[in-house]
Structure 1
């Protein structure tokens, strides 16, 4: 399976008369783009902004981020969600790099929605401050969930995914500046020298806990709550087979942009044939009941063992209840003789003194920590707010609160904020490009 991603490196984005790309400048016809978005009758208000690294802009409540791409065979960018079902992972796709479509609620936030600062102290907590953001600020007629803490954000997320493809269509017929090629031979048909290397599998646990549809990550448009662990080609993940859901404390979330650019996958590709034999991905899930968690762990271990894996990397989207799936999976792999490294964030409390994972086991001997979700962050006012800052404290956003006996409200009268790291949009970056590091003491 061979995937070619043709890259166009965006140096600046401006609004203009025609959506086009030339010499690093992406021009967007704002009226045309908004007219396209508002074809969805559920979108009641919409506006587009451009937020660049260093701008004194704050965004909240942030719901999703997507890399603008277009598939050259005219198929949908996200099969089963933005269009008909079709296989992905091979062929050619064009991508606008160093930018993203960011979806922000005009008014209403929820538990799963986040926060981005494009400059200042807050910018260091999220990767998205480094990108040029095409910011869609919109509202919908989904009145039934506006005052709910958990929101499906269906119309807003769909608008962002469609807009990303709509904008990228301007490079469909252009020659890319660079082409990334991702290719793996079938597991049993690889060169003898590759077969001698340590065989490694990547286990991904995307958000799939919610038993009601509309909240979980989608795989080919299918609610991941309905799946069992499945072996997949890594190209499928990089090429739009999976999109982010609308449930998970925000710093733990994997956006669709994260799936499209998954750094751990790309690094395993870089090492393939040199230091390891990258077998592929076991796409697992996160469950609610203990028996479901144990069953999924057994599935993962059996697949890895059948593939002949020597080692595994396990990454979970979330923390708390999902920790039980994460730990059970690592234990099952270790019991099967597969040496395993886990990647996760921690919930150690505001003072950092609590147990990092809900469940622990002595077989967890190699864990990469991506930070403490409960770390307190205090930020000064920002000149411009896109969205509604009050949502951070008012609407149950993870990391924010309406009032606290000691700390007061999350959102202060002067526009400054105090909150937990939980609120930073995809801030912990378990996918592999966290700006955080470990200090030696």
Structure 2
């Protein structure tokens, strides 16, 4: 497979009379974009905003992030989901870089939604404060789930994915500033030099725990709960085969933007043929029952061993119950003779003193921590809020609360907030670009 991504680096975004890209400036016809969003009969209210790094703006409840892209041959950006099923990972796409489409609920949030501060102290907690963002703030007619803690957010998420492609159409016929090319030789057809290098696979465990459909990550539009671990070409992940779901405490979540730009995959590509032989991606899953977890771990180890992997990197989307899948997978790989590094966040409690993972094993000898989901964050009021800040306290966001006997409410009367890191949108970036570092005291 050969994937070429033509990059257009966005230096600024503004609204104007037409949607076009010129000299680094993305101009959007706001009314046309909103008319496009409202073509979905389930969208009852929508508005569009532009926020940039340093803006004193707070967004909540944030549901999804997508990089605007378009495929030059007319295929759907997210095959099997926003359009007809087709093979991802081949061909040419154009991408608007340094920006994203963010989807924010106008009122209702849930367990899986989060918060972004574009400026001030809170900006350091999430990667998305560094991007220029096109913010869709919308509501839907999905009344059946508005007061539910768990929401599929189906209409809102789909609106964001389609809007990202709609906006990117403006660069479809332009010449990109630079290009990224991703190509791997078939595993059994590599040259002698590459074959002598340590062989590495990347094991991804996207969210797939929910047995009710509509909440999990999608693979080619297919609910990942239906999936057994399978071998995938890394280009498929970078090219829209994976779409973020709507179930996961938010700091642990992988947005669609993260899949499109997976840093671990890009780094493994950089090292391929130099320091290692990048075999590809084993797309695994997260389960509920112990026998399901062990079955998936067994599959992963068998695929890795059959491919001839010497080493593996394992990333889990989530914590708590998924820790058991994460640990079982690493143990199975180690038992198969595959040296493994794990990437995860921790749930060590507000004081940092609790067990970091639900399940532990002495064979976990190399774990990269991306932070503590329970760490308390206190932030001052923000002059402008997009969405509804009260959702943090009212709607069961993982990291917010209506009232705490010691800390009071998450959202105070003056607009200041106190919450757990749990509610910071994709804040721990387990997929490879965490904004955090270790500090020794």
Shorter-normalised TM-score: what interval? over 0.9
Q: Residue deviations 1:27-73, cap 9 Å, x none? A: 00000000000000000000000000000000000000000000011
**Corresponding residue number in structure 2 for 1:238:** 238
- The CA deviation at 1:435 is 1.1
- The CA deviation at 1:439 is 1.6
Q: What is the distance in 1 between the residues matched to 2:258 and 2:303?
A: 25
- The CA deviation at 1:440 is 3.1
* 1:110-129 superposed matches below 5 A: 110-129=110-129
Q: Residue deviations 1:66-101, cap 9 Å, x none? A: 000000110000001100000010110000000000
* 1:197-212 superposed matches below 5 A: 197-212=197-212
Q: What is the distance in 2 between the residues matched to 1:432 and 1:124?
A: 16
Which SS does the other structure have where 2:187 is aligned?
coil
Consecutive unaligned residues of structure 1, counting only runs of 5 or more, are: none
**Corresponding residue number in structure 2 for 1:305:** 305
Q: What is the distance in 1 between the residues matched to 2:102 and 2:435?
A: 20
**Corresponding residue number in structure 2 for 1:365:** 365
**Corresponding residue number in structure 2 for 1:256:** 256
**Corresponding residue number in structure 1 for 2:64:** 64
Q: Which runs of 4+ in 1 moved over 6 A?
A: none
The two structures, once aligned, show a CA RMSD in angstroms of 0.4
**Corresponding residue number in structure 2 for 1:345:** 345
**Corresponding residue number in structure 2 for 1:334:** 334
Note if 1:437 corresponds to 2:437: yes
Q: What is the distance in 1 between the residues matched to 2:288 and 2:433?
A: 28
Consecutive unaligned residues of structure 2, counting only runs of 5 or more, are: none
Q: Residue deviations 1:147-171, cap 9 Å, x none? A: 0000000000000000000000000
Q: What is the distance in 2 between the residues matched to 1:21 and 1:308?
A: 46
**Corresponding residue number in structure 2 for 1:172:** 172
Q: What is the distance in 2 between the residues matched to 1:190 and 1:169?
A: 37
Q: What is the distance in 1 between the residues matched to 2:10 and 2:293?
A: 43
Q: What is the distance in 2 between the residues matched to 1:219 and 1:387?
A: 29
* 1:75-224 superposed matches below 5 A: 75-224=75-224
- The CA deviation at 1:287 is 0.1
Q: What is the distance in 2 between the residues matched to 1:433 and 1:364?
A: 22
**Corresponding residue number in structure 2 for 1:424:** 424
Q: What is the distance in 2 between the residues matched to 1:18 and 1:404?
A: 49
**Corresponding residue number in structure 1 for 2:379:** 379
Q: Residue deviations 1:193-241, cap 9 Å, x none? A: 0000000000000000000110000000000000000000000000000
Q: Residue deviations 1:303-347, cap 9 Å, x none? A: 000001000000000000000000000000000000000000000
Give TM-score scaled by structure 2 length.
1.00
